[in-house]
A = this chain, B = another copy of it.
Amino acid sequence: MHEVSRQTQWEQRTELPLALASLVFLAMYAVLVLAQDLPAAWRDLCAAVMATAWALFAVDYGVRWRLGGQGLRFVRTHKLDSVVVLLPLLRPLRVVKVYEAVQRRRGQPRLSLHARVITYSGVTAVLLGFACALAVYDLERGAPGTDMHTFGDALWWACTTLTTVGYGDVVPVTTGGRLIAVGLMACGLALLGAVTGSFSSWLIQVFSRESGSPDGEEPPRS
């Protein structure tokens, strides 16, 4: 809290621009995957923008490493950051920090803990599902024996996976697609945990507020 002020200052200033950069990164990736018949020049432009965004992420990571002054321990204490630099499509996982940065600008946070958890889970799920659907669609397209013919199929698959419904009418068949799918399933589990967990604790809180105190139902009618 005392010495890391330059680090937190840096993080507060860069959080929002980097979030925008990661949205641009995602959008460019979507264009590359979905608009196959784009002229080569445009495709090159998209790739260049993606590279630039990724360079920004790398620079940010480097600066924070420097400011942290922890050496190799930085990698261990910032696991999520390290993974996110290598796989920029996972940046939506940092949505919590972005949200907090936005809130700080607009004054104190208004939402209760449960509303925040559900908001985070929802936004993370939507962005991550979209990114995974793009990546899986790119890998599965044209694979022999696949049922994933359009990007709509890929989105449908991502939804059934994240909610752990798993119809199985559209499934990845390539090794790469399955690896991504396993990651998305794990996220689906965590999402389920977030929703049920926050609902559960909200209930407990409502209950303890409603029934006055200790450990029974409504106070005994005398």
Contacts and interface: CB of A to CB of B under 8 A. Distances in A.
Interface residues of A, number: 56
Interface in A184-209: 185-186, 188-209
A172 to B, nearest CB: 9
A217 B152 contact: no
A-side interface mostly:
helix
The 4 A-B pairs at the shortest CB distance, nearest first, are namely A208-B216, A197-B200, A167-B168, A165-B166
26 contacts: A113-B203, A113-B206, A114-B203, A114-B207, A159-B182, A159-B185, A160-B166, A163-B186, A165-B165, A166-B168, A169-B171, A189-B191, A190-B195, A190-B199, A194-B199, A196-B199, A198-B200, A198-B203, A205-B207, A205-B217, A208-B214, A209-B214, A213-B220, A214-B220, A216-B218, A218-B219
Contact of A216 (B152, B194, B209): B209
Contacts of A200: 193, 196-198, 200-201, 203
A2 interface: no
A175 interface: yes
Q: How often does this chain occur in the complex, in copies?
A: 4
A30 to B, nearest CB: 18
Nearest to A209: B216
Contacts of A169: 168, 171
Interface of A: 112-114, 117, 152, 156, 159-161, 163-169, 171, 175, 178, 181-182, 185-186, 188-211, 213-221
B220 A218 contact: no
A166 to B, nearest CB: 4
Contacts of A159: 181-182, 185
